[in-house]
Amino acid sequence: MRDLGVVVTTHTNRYIYKEGALLRSRAAEGEDMVVPLRSLVEAGVHTALATDNVPPSLWYPVWHAVARVDRTTGDVVGPAQRLSREAALRAATIEGAWLTFQEREQGSIEPGKRADLVVLSEDPLTVPEERLPGIVAELTVAGGRVVYERVGG
């Protein structure tokens, strides 16, 4: 996949959170084949997190990738496939830019790229794991302009 330049996008809400325990029970190759995020990343495959608007926030897929918890059983599905918080953030940012062929314009803060950034309600690198899905944007800057500012809080 890496050699072919394939970019993978995932739907962690269904395949880890909602059906992870079920898929684990059916996986003849073992539970590490249920959304094998770490294996893909370690193989150098561009791997992006996604949501089809359910859940409405990308912080849920970040949490799914880090925690890998099945909602019904509370079990961790494929613990060897967990991503670090840093890797999950890359999958939600620069890897998403790769997915849309915009890696030269967005996805990371670098000279020559659009000045897109957010100020978050909590630090995703240090917040307790169970609070990752509740992170919200306090301020959003796109193209160097403030396009959203949370009122109240």
pLDDT tens string 16-68? 999 999 999 998 888 999 999 999 999 999 999 988 777 789 999 999 999 99
Q: How much is the pLDDT for 20? A: 94
pLDDT at residue 99, as a whole number: 92
pLDDT, tens digit, for every residue of 95-142?
Answer: 999 999 999 999 998 999 988 899 999 999 999 999 999 999 999 999
1 lies in a domain?
Answer: no
pLDDT at 153: 62
**Residue 139: inside a domain, yes or no?**
yes
**How many CA atoms does the CB half-sphere of 135 hold within 13 Å?**
23
Distance CA 94, CA 140 (A): 17
Whether the per-residue pLDDT at 73 is higher than 90: the answer is yes
**Domain membership flag for residue 142:** yes
| Inter-residue contact 113 to 67 (CB < 8 Å) | no
101 in any annotated domain: yes
Residues in the chain: 153
Task: Output the pLDDT for position 55.
Answer: 74
CA distances from 82 to 15, 37, 40, 137 (A): 14, 7, 11, 25
Residue 121 lies in a domain: yes
3-class SS of residue 92: helix
Q: Are 47 and 91 in contact (CB under 8 A)?
A: yes
Structural domain boundaries enclosing 115: 7-149
* Number of domains within the chain: 1
Residue 118 lies in a domain: yes
Instruction: Output the pLDDT for position 145.
Output: 93
Greatest CA separation for the chain: 50
Q: Is the pLDDT of residue 4 over 80?
A: yes
Give a yes or no: residue 2 inside a domain: no
Predicted local confidence at residue 27, as pLDDT: 87
Q: Is residue 47 helix, strand or coil?
A: strand
**What is the reported pTM?**
0.92
Q: Is residue 105 part of a domain?
A: yes
6 pLDDT band, cuts 50/70/90, is very high
CB 41 within 8 Å of CB 94: no
- Cβ–Cβ under 8 Å, residues 142 and 114: yes
